[in-house]
Structure formats: C-alpha cells, structure tokens
Chain A
Amino acid sequence: METKRTTFPSKTLPYALVMPQLLITLVFFIWPTWQAVQSSFLREDPFGLASTFVGLLHYQRLFQDPLYLDAIGRTALFAVAVTVLSMGMGLLLAVAVSRLVRSANAYSTLLLWPYAVAPVVAGILWWFMFNSSSGILPYMLSFFGVDWNHKLNGTQAMILVIVAASWKQVSYNFLFFLAGLQSVPQSLTEAAAIDGAGPVKRFFTIVLPLLSPTTFFLFIVNVNYTMFDTFGTIDATTQGGPNQATNILVYKVYADGFIGLNLGSSSAQSVVLMLFVIGLTFLQFRYVERRVQY
C-alpha cells in the first residue's frame, strides 16, 4: 500500500494517531467476533459456569435444522425480490430523469429523500398502510377480491416486508444509476442515433452494457442492505411472523440469541453470516480495483 513520496519521520506519533480507531476496532469489533467464533464451538451448561468444546456440533445441528434451512431460502427470496424491485424502479426513474434537462433537479429532490427514512420507520409507514382495520391498501385490495391480513397470511406478510424494504431503497439505486447514466458519453448515443437506432435499442445495446459496473456494485450493496439493514423493517412490521414466514437470517440471529438465549446456535449463525459478508465484501472490492484501473 502506498504512502506519500516523502513522509514525516516521527516514530511514535503515527501510533498515537491510529490508536483511537484501532482500540475501538479491537474492543468492539475484533474481540466480540472472536467471542462469537469461540462460543460457536462451545456448549455452556445452563448456569453459564462451565463450557465444553463440542466441535462443529452447532453447525451440524444448524444445517440439519429445517427451520434454519427454510430461513436461508426465505432470506434469498427476500434479498432477490427487494434487489430486483428497488433496482428496477431506481433504473427506470433514473433513465427518465436523465432524459430531462430543466426539471431533472426537481424530480431528483422528490425521489432522493426516502434515503433518510430509517428502515424501522419505513416498516411503520407500510404497516399502517396495510393495517387490516383502517389501512388504505387492504380497503383498495378488497375491491379486487383480495382479503388482506398479513398477521395470518405468510405470503402477504412477505409481500409487506418486501414492499417496505424496497420502497426505502429505490432512492439509493436511483442516485447511483443516475450518476452512471450521466457518465455514458453523449457521442456514443448520438452516433447510434445517426446510425438509426431508436431510444429503446440504444438503451439496450449501449447504455445498459455501459452501466454494468454500476449495476454490479448496486447488486452487492442491495443484497447487503436486505440481509442486514432491514432488521428494523422486520421488527416494526411482522417480527418474523406469522409462523416464521418473514423470519430472515439476521432476525433469527437476534431472536434465537437475545430472546431465545440459545448462545451456541446464535453464535454459529453469526459466524455463517460473517462469512457471507466477507464474501460479498471481497466481490465488491475486487470489482472496485478493476474499476480504478479502467
């Protein structure tokens, strides 16, 4: 890793400068992670006095537990649905805004602010809209013969959390797609237009391929968002219910560990999730490296 051509000669000062950051990292990140890894291999007795090494037992149990395997599938479905929905909306709106000149800024402002809505608040807002007693959407849906009750119907509960989580994320995707679209060279679009390509054809043959780095980057960020940041959304709407229907992995870590007090299993789940984030981060940074060279 590079530094400046010349550096300051001090021997002790740099340590003092990185110390606050490193201390916090070690105490609140590395140490707890180590604890989680450790306790995923241990079993504590009910009084928390002694613990025995049980090897991979927690992991074995975890991957034989139908509840956990279901949660993996559910999380994948949730992540894909939210990612596709919010990226699709974001791209559509970004393409529309990028065609405008005068009103582009006004539309951008109107589309950007949901980024500042906390996931938990997004959950409350949509929960209120879907509320079966006075909510506006069940009322509208009843005209189509849909009987909405996300407290009983698992599929409807899943739809509720997907909509709430996607709604908040559209503005983020919109912003990055818009930045990507603005960096597509105008000359390419013009050349294609002269060659007779219409707007739709230009979009699919020129704009979309040039956007692929942005798309890939957003894909990773969105998967990360749905897997971890949506905790508040779930907690404010369904709390994983009904009957596990919206219990995604991150909520399960919390529910099993903090409410169910099953430390070994919760730690093993934490470690599995960590490995997943590490994988995602590597993907993201490999790609960033390439983009820098490009």
Chain B
Amino acid sequence: MVENRPFLAFLTHLVLIAGVAVIVFPVYIAVVAATHDATAMSSGMMPLWPGAHLWDNLMLTLTHQTPGLPPFWVMAWNSLWMAVIITAGKIAISILSAFAIVYFKFPFRNLAFWLIFITLMLPVEVRIIPTYSVVANLGMLNSYLGLTVPLIASATATFLFRQFFMTIPDELMEAARVDGAGPMKFFRDILLPLSRTNIAALCVILFIFGWMQYLWPMLVTTDRNYYTLMMGVKRMAAVADADPQWNLIMASVVLAMLPPILIVIFMQRLFVKGLVETEK
C-alpha cells in the first residue's frame, strides 16, 4: 500500500464484507432451508436461522426417492463418473495431440491444429439437434459413452499443453534422442513428469466443468438410471411448484453443489492456475 489512510482501509473492508455477504447469502439461505423440517418451511415465512433437522433431511435425501427420479446415490455416482471420464479423456487426448503437433512435422499438421481450434467456436448449445442425432445414430443414448465422449474434444487443453511444451528446452529432447530414446519413451519419461502440475490444474478445472454439465445429459438420457445430479435437483425443484418440500430440495441442492466447491476451496492454488492458464 502506498499511503496509510484509515478511512480507506475501513471502506475496503466494508466493501469486501458486503460483497462476501451478497455472494454467500443465497447459499446460506439454502443451507438454512436444509436444516428445518417441513412445517417450519411451510409456515409462510422462511426462517433465517438454522434449525435442528439437517441430519434428518440429509438422511431423507439419501434414502428417500423422489417419484420419477433414481435414488440420490445413483445420480451422484453418474455425476462423478461423468466428471471423471470427461476429465481423464480430455487430458489424455489433448496431451497426445499437443505432443504430436509440437514434436513432429507431418503433412496436414496445420489442418489438424485448425480442426481442433474450430471446436472452440462450436459450443454444444448451438448445435443441439444434429449432435443429438449423431449420438442417437451411433446408439450412444443412455450410456456413459454418450454422456461423455461428445464433450471430450478440447481445444483449450490442447493449447495449454502446446504452450507448455514450447517452453521446454529443445536440448532435453535432443539429449533424449542422442541417448536413444524413442518418441514414446521421451513422452512417458520426460514430458509427462514435467507436465504434472499442468495436468493437476487441468484436472481441477475439468472436473468442475464435467460436474456442472446440464444441457447435454438432459438431452441424451431418458433412462433414469443415467440421470445426473444436476438434472435431478432441477427436476426436484420443478416438481416443487405443486408440493414444495423445500427442506429436502435444498438438502439435495446443497449436497449436489458441495463436491466442486470443496475442490475450489481446498485446491485453490491449482484451481487458480488452471483457470488462468486455460483461458490464455
């Protein structure tokens, strides 16, 4: 800080406390709702202080089954799998293609790069129906493959690895070649270990990305055994118009949003690195 101005310091904290309050408030309300029983919620006025029923509500959420939806743990399991497969798949295919693009000269190399680049411009939201029909024709509806593979192509991860490989000294590769290492040995024993932090940072970002998917799973799953949490909580909330069990809905919402939030909080350094680097 350049100068000492007590009033400004006071203002700074005031702004931040107000900002944090605004940011935290909706989630606080959701958590409070998850701690009350049905009568407190339906009395007309939403309570502002936590009640004593959090445990009951969580247990009910985990055991009780909403009509039309699979059990909570099935959806949680699907969300987890979806996020894990997308993360692993994106990282695997991106690091391999970045390796090819940086360490080899081959015809159509530029074309390959541009094809990958184009995926940035074609978010799934703008080509919903044709992508759906491709997946349907391949018989991939209602499967983990259909849920994940169409989302796995990743220009940003490829760029990140390409950028990183370009910063690795050429001498490393030349030395490896002189010592008789083939390309795959070089990749496995030198590039992969060097990319460890980048991979970890990407894992954090991509897991969150995979967990948050909503539109795509909604389109490709009609079999409720493949529903994900994001779809599940949305449907619970939609049913709530008729018979609001807010305490249970909010308990599920809180559970559903917890994993990625915990990741951001406990892996903040990797999260920030991943976010800043993938967007460059």
Contact = CB atoms under 8 A, between A and B. Distances in A.
Interface stretch (B52-60, B62-70, B268-276): B268-276
Interface size classification for chain A: 35 or more
Given A119-B214, A124-B234, A235-B214, A109 B106 contact: no
Given A120-B214, A134-B244, A25 B29 contact: no
Interface string A4-17: 11111011011101
B84 interface: no
Interface string B163-189: 000100010011001000011101000
A92 B16 CA distance: 9
Interface in B83-133: 92-94, 96-97, 99-106, 109-110, 112-113, 115-116, 118-123, 125-133
B208 interface: yes
Interface size classification for chain B: 35 or more
Contacts of B112: 18, 22
User: Is chain B's binding surface mostly helix, strand, loop or mixed?
Assistant: helix
Interface stretch (A56-64, A65-73, A271-279): A271-279
A279 to B, nearest CB: 9
B149 A24 contact: yes
B3 A193 contact: yes
A39 B127 contact: no
Contact of A21 (B96, B211, B264): B96
Interface string A251-265: 001100110000100
Contact of B125 (A17, A101, A202, A231): A231
20 contacts: A3-B104, A10-B183, A13-B184, A20-B96, A21-B116, A92-B15, A93-B16, A101-B1, A111-B19, A112-B265, A116-B261, A117-B261, A120-B233, A124-B233, A124-B253, A134-B45, A229-B125, A231-B125, A235-B214, A274-B121
Interface of B: 1-3, 5, 8-9, 12-13, 15-16, 19-20, 22-27, 29-30, 33, 41-42, 44-46, 48, 92-94, 96-97, 99-106, 109-110, 112-113, 115-116, 118-123, 125-135, 138, 149-150, 152-154, 158, 166, 170, 173-174, 177, 182-184, 186, 208, 211-212, 214-215, 219, 230, 233-234, 237-238, 244, 246, 249-250, 253, 256-257, 260-261, 263-265, 268, 271-272, 275-276, 279-280
